[in-house]
Amino acid sequence: MELMKLTAVETGKKIKAGEISVEDAVNAAFEQIETVEKDVNAYVTVLEKACVLEKAKEIQKKIDSGELTGPLAGVPVAIKDNMCTEGILTTCSSKILSNFKPAYTSEAVLNLEKAGAVIIGKTNMDEFAMGSTTETSAYGATKNPWNFEHVPGGSSGGSCAAVAAEECSCALGSDTGGSIRQPSSFCGVTGLKPTYGTVSRYGLIAYGSSLDQIGPVAKDVTDCAVILETIASYDQKDSTSVKREEYDFTSALKEDVKGLKIGIPKGYFGDGLDEDVRKAVLEAAKVLEKKGAVLEEFDLGLVDYAIPAYYVIASAEASSNLARFDGVKYGFRTEEFRGLHNMYKKTRSEGFGAEVKRRIMLGSFVLSSGYFDAYYLKALRTKALIKKEFDRAFETYDLILGPAAPTTAPKLGESLSDPIKMYLGDIYTISVNLAGLPGISIPCGTDKKGLPIGLQLIGNCFEEKTMIQAAYTFEQSRSYEGPKMVQR
Amino acid sequence: MAKQYETVIGLEVHVELATKTKIFCGCSTAFGGEPNTHTCPVCTGMPGSLPVLNKQVVEYAVAVGLATNCKITQYCKFDRKNYFYPDNPQNYQISQLYLPICRDGGVEIELENGEKKTIGIHEIHMEEDAGKLIHDEWGENSLVDFNRSGVPLIEIVSEPDMRSAEEVIAYLDKLRIIIQYLGASDCKLQEGSMRADVNLSVREAGASEFGTRTEMKNLNSFKAIARAIEAEKNRQIDLIESGEAVIQETRRWDDNKEYSYAMRSKEDAQDYRYFPEPDLVPVEISDQWLEEIRAKQPEFRTQKLERYEREYHIPEYDAKIITESKKMADLFEETVAICSNPKKVSNWLMVETMRLLKEHDMEPEEIRFTPDNLAKLINLVDGGTINSSVAKQVFEQMFEYNTDPEAYVEEKGLKMDSDEDGLKKIVEEVIASNPQSVEDYRSGKEKAIGFLVGQTMKATKGKANPGMINKLLKELL
């Protein structure tokens, strides 16, 4: 199990050097799953061990023959359960997809597989990625490995908890309004949301199509850069995929922030920000300053408008995206019904959870005739204005720095009763999705209760490298610390 | 005195485009095929699948827009139309509402009395077709076939400019010919590759406000459209005359019963919750692309009609029939280019070709013979190599198998027999063995000679030079 303490890149190196086999790595992951999964519940599906070991052997052969040479060859990975995997249950943590086995694999996962990564399971999430705690899953909440009484954050809570609890070497998550960065912050791991269009969405079961983006969750910045380099691609099957000039992210893994201009939005440090979080984030900023970055506070406009705009746009898209789950073609269908409309109603009433229903209703409302202009169009205009605010900021700054979330992980059961409060927890992450920007969350300390705090760096569109370099530089000032509770 | 009413009609015409693949995926659009075999994750609405626009659809839509004098929206977008129905796998249809690809056009129609009128086109938009539901008549199940799901359509929405079934049919025919000329669709109403929904209202003659309209669906032929318009006009007038209100609703026409019934009224009209399709990027049609499409536009029927009269001097009636289909017009022009005899080419197309098409229940597009062979046949007749009755026989062969007429005439020995001495002997034999006809002719029954010509032809297996036979018979009698 010592093996699982390694990062994905370290594991890959040991395999390549012949110090360990792919099977050793896979066995180590399964051993850890057997030990801690009952407490963490990070997975919806753990694959059959025998099948995974079979796959491990195949990959070992390809490594030995020199066919696979990449840094992730043989590394055990976990995939958020909203990415299609051929023949493997893909539920979005919803009852409505409880029996759904896709006929194809999503592009991002294919890219990982081509690089020789070994999939060991599908991770838990908020149902259809709607939620900030992983408590809306139909398959039970995931627990924060740092303290089982706390949530791991969400919606990629399963992926982040699995990495923190060392039940995989690294994972893929998806981020629509902070769903990679916020749980990464809560679980003390590193999570990166790329510029919209960088990673293909083909095979990612859509929540808010114009905001969704797949990204890596790992122990450190190096792993994130390597995974991003592996999964990012121009994909003709995704019309919103962008042909980037380069797909090199790892060359940014350098310790150097001299002269880098970092803007700190004053509005990110106002009311509602936990004191411990504020302190840790500002200390992290000082570390970067000491290493040569130039820090400056500034006013980022429209911060308060991001949340309402986001919930209108994302819910509107979701109400349409989730219409296909109707019991006709795949997934759950209610047992007894009279006629087509009754079947639709019962299937969807029984198949979707409360939060999903809330957003479908909200989304249907804002798109209704008579309300479309007042809500949906206004939200789109707000989105465009927020993008302009960021454009303006990036004329002056190379990066924007702030917290990933206003608090550390709340206790289980505290959030769902007050959805508005839960939505407000997305304040620092959401505008990044609205503007299509890249963002990263890196651990920068713990609060009084010993729960992790995340530092968020936001880059300009297509400037992941600047962000990665600063994150890497900051990371050099501290060593990775896993959660105590699951450490042997 | 009874009140006079005016009928106001607007059409929504759906046209299935002739692309090889579907609008948002690479699946085949071919007809037939076992259910759900021309499908993939995209056109069956599998979770996580994404649409990718087929460029050919845009080109066809722009081409139709240009041909119908529309303004092309060079920055256009797709929107989602949300509604639940099992033939629609995502439960939304990707269509265009806010920025359709073409707007503000119109076409000129010509009525029987020669009057011309312009019918406005409000917009043309691109969208995807739905799958097909198959209802099990005895069991409780319905099945769905997604082979047609994602087949590209354009919807051509007219202004309410038509006032009679005649105008509607003239407009549809105009659209059909334009679109067939472009090769953008085969536009067959019976097969559903062209579908027309009729929006109709009536008002007192001279009124400035429109009456309440209904929308009629399920019209599968021009005849059905004419009957449905007549019936709906009368139904609405009856309602008004009896003091009842016309209800805005969608009605379904049953052409067997010649009756329509209400499908849904405005009260339960759905809110489609249209919004911009986030999975597709806006379509930008550059000036250059637009020019490329414009440059590829064919010569349309109206221009051809003018040119045929000017260049070929064939009757307007012939020109109209020949230009009904682009295939026929092309065949005509190409044949004339080889044999320089427009009138003869026109005759072959107007008479024998039309007859055989009808006999074989074929469309002009299915014609197999080449202009080259038709020209050869005409030259064989002109040059006196074969007579006209042999020519018809050769033409039938050519129509069926695109046979080379020269080779066929040679092979079958069908050349016209103009050997006077040889023919004289045969004519003498015919006279000898048909005394009754000879008698009839001599006693003044001129027609009897026809029988004798026929007998001579029969004796020569139809190859004899008919002029020579006539001459010989008259001499010998």
pLDDT class of B342 with cuts at 50, 70, 90: very high
Instruction: Report the C-alpha gap between A253 and A465 in whole angstroms.
Output: 8
- Give the pLDDT of residue A17: 96
Query: Please, what's the b/e burial string for A112-144 (b: 16 or more CB within 10 A of its CB; e: otherwise)?
Result: bbebbbbbbbbbbbbbbbbbbbbbbbbbebbbb
Catalytic residue list contains A369: no
Kindly indicate the confidence band of residue A485, based on its pLDDT and cuts at 50, 70 and 90.
low
Per DSSP, helices labelled H in A165-232 are 181-187, 221-231
Whether A323 and B41 lie within 8 Å, measured CB to CB: no
If you search the block for the tokens 């407009």, which residue do you land on? Answer: B171
The complex scores an ipTM of 0.95
Q: In this complex, do A240 and B281 lie within 8 Å of one another by their Cβ atoms?
A: yes
Residue B445 has pLDDT above 90, yes or no: no
Distance of CA A38 to the CA centre of its chain: 22
| Nearest residue in A to B269, CA atom | A369
- The chain-wide mean pLDDT, for chain A, equals 96
Residue A480 pLDDT = 84
Contact flag A84-B48 (C-beta cutoff 8 Å):
yes
Q: On the CB side of B407, how many CA atoms lie within 13 Å of its CA?
A: 6
Rounded to an integer, what distance in angstroms lies between the CA atom of residue B186 and that of residue B180?
Answer: 6
Q: What angle in degrees, to the nearest 10, is found between the helix axes of B405-412 and B371-382?
A: 50
Place of tokens 């012939």: B318
Question: How far does the CA of residue A177 sit from the closest CA of chain B (Å)?
Answer: 16
Q: How far apart are alpha carbons A437 and A435 in whole angstroms? A: 5
Residues of A with CB under 8 A from a CB of B: 83-84, 90, 92, 97, 100, 102-104, 106, 201-206, 208-210, 236-240, 316-317, 319-320, 323-326, 328-330, 340, 344, 364, 367-369, 372, 376
Mean pLDDT along residues A129-150: 97
Assess B51–A contact: CB distance below 8 Å, yes or no: yes
Mean pLDDT in residue range B31-38: 92
Domains and their CATH numbers in chain B: 5-289 (no CATH), 299-412 (no CATH), 420-476 (1.10.10.410)
Shortest distance between the Cα of B382 and any Cα of chain A, in A, equals 60
Residues of A in contact with B44 (CB under 8 A): 329
Which of A102, A320, A376 is closest, CB to CB, to B92?
Answer: A320
Nearest CA in chain B to A375: B275
In chain A, the residue whose alpha carbon lies closest to the alpha carbon of B94 is: A320
Radius of gyration (Cα) for chain B, nearest Å?
A: 30
What is the mean predicted confidence (pLDDT) over A389-417?
A: 96
pLDDT tens per residue across span B48-70: 999 999 999 999 999 999 999 99
pTM of the model: 0.91
For residue A488, what pLDDT band results from cuts at 50, 70 and 90? very low
**DSSP states of A107-128:** HHHHHHHHTT-EEEEEE--SGG
Q: What is the DSSP letter of A2?
A: G
pLDDT exceeds 90 at position A191: yes
Find the angle CA(B174)-CA(B178)-CA(B180) to the nearest 5 degrees: 115
Residue of A nearest to B26 (CA): A237
Q: Which residues of A touch B52 (CB under 8 A)?
A: 236-239
| pLDDT tens track for A32-91 | 999 999 999 999 999 999 999 999 999 999 999 999 999 999 999 999 999 999 999 999
Residue A269 token pair: 């440090």
pLDDT above 70 coverage of chain B, percent? 99
Q: Looking at beta carbons, which residues of chain B come within 8 Å of A240?
A: 278-281
Among partner residues A239, A316, A317, which is closest to B53 by beta-carbon distance?
A239
Q: Helices (H), strands (E): how many in chain A?
A: 15, 11
Contact B89 A376 (CB under 8 A): no
CA-to-CA separations, B219 to B12, B13, B129, B228, in angstroms, rounded? 12, 11, 17, 8
Which chain B residue lies closest to A325 (C-alpha atoms)? B90
Q: Does residue B43 belong to the interface with chain A, where contact is any CB pair within 8 Å?
A: no
pLDDT at A272: 87
Ordered by start, the domain boundaries in chain A are: 1-488
Chain B residue numbers touching A376 (CB-CB < 8 A): 275
Q: What sign does the dihedral A146-A152-A153-A158 (CA atoms) show?
A: positive
**Which residues does chain B have within 8 Å of residue A103's beta carbon, measured at their own beta carbons?**
41, 46
Taking residues A337-347, report their average pLDDT: 95
pLDDT tops 80 at residue A114: yes
Which residues 6+ apart lie within 8 Å of B229 measured at CB? B7, B9, B164, B165, B168, B198, B200, B216
pLDDT at B267 over 70: no
Q: Is A291 a catalytic residue?
A: no
For residue A92, the chain B residue with the least C-alpha distance is: B47
3-state SS class at A180? coil
Identify whether the C-beta of residue A124 lies closer than 8 Å to the C-beta of residue A44.
yes
Q: Among the options A93, A94, A155, A184, which is catalytic?
A: A155
Q: A122 pairs with which residues across the strands? A: A45, A79
Rounded-to-integer distance, Cα A121 and Cα B364, Å: 60
Q: Min CA distance, B273 vs chain A (Å)?
A: 5
Instruction: Sort out which chain B residues have CB atoms less than 8 A from A210's CB and list them.
Output: 278
Tell me which residue of B43, B17, B27 sits closest to B146, measured CA to CA: B43
Size of interface A-B (CB pairs under 8 A): 96
Say which DSSP state A66 is in: T
pLDDT at A48: 98
Write the DSSP symbol of residue A90.
-
Q: How confident is the model at residue B233 (pLDDT cuts 50, 70, 90)?
A: very high
Rounded distance, CA A82 to CA A3, Å?
Answer: 28
Averaged pLDDT of chain B: 92
Give the CATH superfamily of A1-488. Answer: Amidase signature (AS) domain (3.90.1300.10)
pLDDT tens digits, one per residue of B62-119: 999 999 999 999 999 999 999 999 999 999 999 999 999 999 999 999 998 989 999 9
Range of lowest pLDDT (A188-192, A345-349, B227-231, B388-392)? B388-392
Name the active-site residue from A55, A80, A193, A465: A80
Report DSSP letters for A255-314, one per residue: ---TT-EEEEEGGGGSTT--HHHHHHHHHHHHHHHHTT-EEEEE--TTGGGHHHHHHHHH
- In the three-class reduction of DSSP (H, G, I as helix; E, B as strand; rest coil), residue A214 is classed as strand
Site from A93, A239, A338 to mutate, B interface, most B CB atoms within 10 angstroms: A239
Asked if the Cβ–Cβ distance from B82 to A83 is below 8 Å, we say no
Instruction: For the beta carbon of residue B3, count every other beta carbon within 10 angstroms.
Output: 9
**Other Cβ atoms within 10 Å of A310 Cβ, number:** 27
Spatial neighbors of A455 by CB under 8 A, at least 6 apart, are: A280, A281, A284, A401, A403, A404, A441, A442, A443, A444, A474
Kindly determine whether residue A317 and residue B278, on different chains, have CB atoms separated by under 8 Å.
yes
**Which one is catalytic: A106, A137, A156, A179?**
A179
Would the CB atoms of B50 and A238 count as touching at under 8 Å? Answer: yes
- Among the ranges given (A72-76, B189-193, B368-372), the one the predictor scored with the smallest mean pLDDT: B189-193
Question: Closest residue of A to B83, CA-based?
Answer: A323
**C-beta atoms of B84 and A97 within 8 A:** no
Contact: A329, B44; criterion CB under 8 Å: yes
Number of other residues whose CB lies within 10 A of the CB of residue B409: 24
Phi, psi (5° rounding) for residue A411?
Answer: -70, 155
In this model, does residue A441 exceed pLDDT 60? yes
Task: State the Cα–Cα distance between residues A80 and A456, nearest whole angstrom.
Answer: 22
Out of A103, A205, A320, whose CB is closest to B82? Answer: A320
Interface test with A, best of B268, B275, B280, B281 (most A CBs within 10 A): B275
Chain B residues with CB-CB distance to A340 below 8 A: 86
pLDDT at residue B450, rounded to an integer: 81
Which three-class secondary structure string do you get for chain B? Answer: CCCCEEEEEEEEEEEECCCCECCCCCCECCCCCCCCCCCCCCCCCCCCCCCCCCHHHHHHHHHHHHHCCCEECCEECCEEEECCCCCCCCCEEEECCCCCCEEEEEEEEECCCCCEEEEEEEEEEEEECCCEEEECCCCCCEEEECCCCCCEEEEEEECCCECCHHHHHHHHHHHHHHHHHHCCCCCCCCCCCEEEEEEEEEEECCCCCCCCCEEEECCCCHHHHHHHHHHHHHHHHHHHHCCCCCCCEEEEEECCCCEEEEEEEHHHCCCCCCEECCCCCCEECCHHHHHHHHHCCCCCHHHHHHHHHHHHCCCHHHHHHHCCCHHHHHHHHHHHHHHCCHHHHHHHHHHHHHHHHHHHCCCHHHCCCCHHHHHHHHHHHHCCCCCHHHHHHHHHHHHHHCCCHHHHHHHHCCCCECCHHHHHHHHHHHHHHCHHHHHHHHCCCCCHHHHHHHHHHHHCCCCECHHHHHHHHHHHC
Q: CB-based burial of residue A297 (10 Å sphere; 0-12 exposed, 13-18 middle, 19+ buried)?
A: exposed
Q: Distances in Å between the alpha carbon of B4 and those of A61, B206, B239?
A: 88, 9, 14
Q: B269 in contact with A at a CB cutoff of 8 Å?
A: no
pLDDT average, residue stretch B185-211? 92
Q: In this prediction, what percent of chain B has a pLDDT beyond 90? A: 71
Contact B275 A205 (CB under 8 A): no
Whether the upstream peptide bond of residue A155 has omega within 30° of 0, thus cis, is yes
Mean pLDDT of A290-316: 95
Strands A170-175 and A76-80: parallel
Specify the pLDDT at position B265: 67
Mean pLDDT of B447-475: 81
